[in-house]
Structure 1
């Protein structure tokens, strides 16, 4: 049950949580949320009958909740609502990339040594190069080639999804957002991945000025900036153009300047800023201070989830993937999810037999191991506090090991234990070992500290 309270401090959390029907409470994004479980619909109907208060839509609740948020929280909420509709596609793309890497990137000795131009292939060091699955199977070669159709649509044409999502979120014309996104990745433009090595780049020649015809495939910031320009142009023209002709002139006068500004000003600026951000993060993850960077990020990622600031990492991950072919940041997020679930596991072991708590803890463990940590954090870990700290410690240690050993994901994927699918197959064992750290450390710390605290009560 989600409530937007005018006076959140007046909620009697202790009495609410003492109710048999309540599994816990937490406050997030300006909403006071009460965990009920599978019977929430029945509880809602009873609550509405007794209180005389009718509910409203989830989107309306989100809008009302923003009155309880500060400016930074509102900004983060808006960013989250822009990227949330894209996550299913991004996860699908990550899984496809992982599967394609198994097909084309993993050498399998039993498939024999690779032959190039009639001769056995060797590395520069003289080691034999073995065939991959696509080298010996036409069927899997065709599957691999076909799957790139979907992978390319998701990642190379990501700006289309971003500009659409912005117009959807801001309540303006969604098809114009789609059109704007397509103009950023049009086949007429030079692919962003080919700019660095290009001998020449075509231009639009306006006589007094020339604009390079460069695409923004997989670029996040140029698409976001262009999308917001389109939104505010459309809002402006809707106010000043009479309704009788608005259907004709509002779309026309909105899309043309938005596309022009996107390619002349915002595209280059956004690309540069995005490159700076990814360079700084990548430098932090690969420099001599990478262990310190990883320790800090791994430790504080869970608190970021509470504030909503963690949604910023989606844009950074996507930028890293576009610029460096993978991300060192996302694996730490997967391990943080596992750590939160493992801290709940420690509480479960500590309180075995508490049926009411098990109704929350068991689903929370499963959920966290599958990448959704809110039930674990708000239902159990923050309630007792020390499991939350134990999870942060375990996450930090796992992050240090991950970055120290250079564990890079191909892209954003399914969080938690299924995250191994976002890595090349030769990195699965390493992922599993680090995941084991993220499981054992929080569960052990939680259990041992809990045993000590509760034993002294």
Structure 2
């Protein structure tokens, strides 16, 4: 895949770099804060090869890519002048108003996203060490154990320092002053004093002995307070001395203020949250497990799952464990099971390939490609996965399983669940995965069509659609073209034509959905929802538009047989490129496709006949083409 071309198309789709306030990426998504969401062409972006879907939620315009998101962001950042951060200068007049919840979610995601991978790795390492101790392969006194434990536990012990850095970056205050403030909270001398329940005072003002190692809320609250004090100090001091005196007085003010007021307040809030979660969970653990198992992926879709991250980390810091993480792993695994069900049942090559790869990524904790590309797209599998997650979550919750350290919910996190309820979470994971697979295989596909139900308007209409040849020439099977992507029908079924004319015409009446700047490809959506891609030549994008003349514009209405593109066959051939024209039905899963018996394509001869969701199929090229 050409990531630079994809980045260019995404940048164009979001309205260009002038419409971007900030942009960054997480594990699977490009995340934008746009000046005007209405300028973004969501349909265009979703149609790009390499894009799973688009989500506009929590004040962010999110383009879901999958595991290759970093490869797309790199050229995108270069084109748009972005860094992987959300602290770029924003014109407040252009910034859309956000409600409090969206601001909170945006802040939390900005704080935790930069080190989420490292935190997950450290959590898994601690879990593996616990497993090695249980198996007797290591002892707590062994050097290997102590070194690895320091690497894993050190991350969480000094977590306030990491949070201070990212929170200050998000709130646009001095990051290093925030880090200095966090180091004061975990300074060994103060930790030892509070650990022994000793008291100290600040000019006769008592300091409440509180331990801040591994804490979350106190430092976030302290940096938030600091974001109001720093601007006041910047205004107070002249520019010539500001760089020294603002940090100086920030530390003078914030260190005692945090230890006397802000820190204990944050610790109290954390304690209340942990106690509240524990009370609800202990009252009905199976019900809590069922609810979280069913709705966790719904929270992910709307982006509100970030609000649970500080709560779960706070539980581990205050209680020494968290009861939610094992249940969330059950919800994740249920989506993987549903994807496996789709893989086993689907006949469409593209969907089968996407579902198969999604199983592995979901088991490793990355569910966005699975949700948006497979289960939610097909509707029924997502619902069945939620049901499976609820049942598995009830089992894990009922056994009062818990996690000893924070990591991404996935199979990799299993060692962190050792202890009370470990057997129940293993059973819950197995039940969720197997149920997700079996239910999707049996009920995820409509009985009358043997096709997964898709929320697509064209799939609800009945009738026939005839598509004429877009160019004069000789028809050949699509599987015979010298391009692996088209030949494998990964983009959809269709035909190929070796052209004998230099004009490509509209094969169907509809609207031009995409016009590539290089002129080598055109997309059309018919009035009844048939999505057609016309691709002129193989690898002809490398010609950068040379020998092509586009005759239509995007969103233009076209009638059948209307000229779309002029191209110079001989010049393209002399340049060393194959001139075969491909006609692809990109929403193939909605139709039963018949191919004409003719081997020659002339004006107004139909070459494809589409029948809405029929099931009579055959593998022969001349006749019925097998449908998903």
SS of residue paired to 2:188: coil
Which position in structure 2 is the counterpart of 1:323?
318
1:309 pairs, out of 292, 301, 304, with 304
Q: Which has the higher contact order (CA 8 A, sep 6+)?
A: 1
Give the direction of change, closer, same or farther, for the CA distance of 1:180–1:356 in structure 2 (3 Å limit).
same
2:219 pairs, out of 211, 220, 223, with 223
Structure 2 length-normalised TM: 0.59
Question: 1:94 & 1:34 partners in 2: Cα distance?
Answer: 26
Which position in structure 2 is the counterpart of 1:73?
102
Which position in structure 2 is the counterpart of 1:175?
176
2:118 pairs, out of 54, 70, 89, with 89
CA displacement, residues 118-157 of structure 1 (integer Å, 9 cap, x when unaligned): xxxxxxxxxxxxxx4556xx9x722223333224421222
Question: 2:387 & 2:54 partners in 1: Cα distance?
Answer: 22
The within-5 A match list for 1:409-424 is 409-424=403-418
2:198 pairs, out of 201, 204, 215, with 201
Question: 1:144 & 1:43 partners in 2: Cα distance?
Answer: 38
Higher share in strand:
2
Which position in structure 2 is the counterpart of 1:348?
343
SS of residue paired to 1:74: helix
Question: 2:265 & 2:47 partners in 1: Cα distance?
Answer: 54
- Is the Cα–Cα contact under 8 Å of residues 35 and 379 in structure 1 kept in the other structure? no
Give the direction of change, closer, same or farther, for the CA distance of 1:212–1:422 in structure 2 (3 Å limit).
same
Give the direction of change, closer, same or farther, for the CA distance of 1:18–1:96 in structure 2 (3 Å limit).
closer
Question: 1:43 & 1:61 partners in 2: Cα distance?
Answer: 14
Which position in structure 2 is the counterpart of 1:144?
145
Which position in structure 2 is the counterpart of 1:441?
435
Q: Give 1:38 shift.
A: 6.5
SS of residue paired to 1:407: coil
Question: 2:112 & 2:256 partners in 1: Cα distance?
Answer: 25
Q: Give 1:427 shift.
A: 6.6
Give the direction of change, closer, same or farther, for the CA distance of 1:7–1:435 in structure 2 (3 Å limit).
same
How big is the alpha-carbon RMSD for the aligned residues of Structure 1 and Structure 2? 3.4
Tell me whether 245-254 or 291-300 shows the greater mean CA deviation: 291-300
Question: 2:37 & 2:121 partners in 1: Cα distance?
Answer: 41
SS of residue paired to 1:451: coil
SS of residue paired to 2:215: coil
Q: Give 1:82 shift.
A: 0.1
Q: Give 1:359 shift.
A: 4.0
Which position in structure 2 is the counterpart of 1:334?
329
Give the direction of change, closer, same or farther, for the CA distance of 1:357–1:9 in structure 2 (3 Å limit).
farther
Higher share in helix:
1
Give the direction of change, closer, same or farther, for the CA distance of 1:349–1:166 in structure 2 (3 Å limit).
same
Q: Give 1:331 shift.
A: 0.8
- Is the Cα–Cα contact under 8 Å of residues 161 and 182 in structure 2 kept in the other structure? yes
Q: Give 1:92 shift.
A: 2.8
The within-5 A match list for 1:5-154 is 6-8=36-38, 11=41, 13=43, 21=49, 24-29=52-57, 30-31=60-61, 33=63, 35=65, 55-57=80-82, 59=84, 67=96, 70-104=99-133, 106=134, 132-134=136-138, 141-154=142-155
SS of residue paired to 1:189: helix
The within-5 A match list for 1:191-340 is 200-207=197-204, 209-287=205-283, 289-340=284-335
Question: 1:54 & 1:97 partners in 2: Cα distance?
Answer: 41
Give the direction of change, closer, same or farther, for the CA distance of 1:149–1:31 in structure 2 (3 Å limit).
same
Tell me whether 289-298 or 246-255 shows the greater mean CA deviation: 289-298
Aligned residues: 415
5+ long unaligned stretches in structure 2: 1-6, 16-35, 451-612, 614-628
Structure 1 position 372 matched with structure 2 position 373:
no
CA displacement, residues 193-218 of structure 1 (integer Å, 9 cap, x when unaligned): x75xx5x51312513x2223533111
CA displacement, residues 235-274 of structure 1 (integer Å, 9 cap, x when unaligned): 3322332101102211011122111111111111111110
Which position in structure 2 is the counterpart of 1:362?
356
Which position in structure 2 is the counterpart of 1:117?
none
Which position in structure 1 is the counterpart of 2:189?
188
Which position in structure 1 is the counterpart of 2:607?
none
SS of residue paired to 2:55: strand
Question: 2:442 & 2:42 partners in 1: Cα distance?
Answer: 31
Give the direction of change, closer, same or farther, for the CA distance of 1:438–1:62 in structure 2 (3 Å limit).
farther
Tell me whether 68-77 or 92-101 shows the greater mean CA deviation: 68-77
Question: 1:359 & 1:324 partners in 2: Cα distance?
Answer: 43
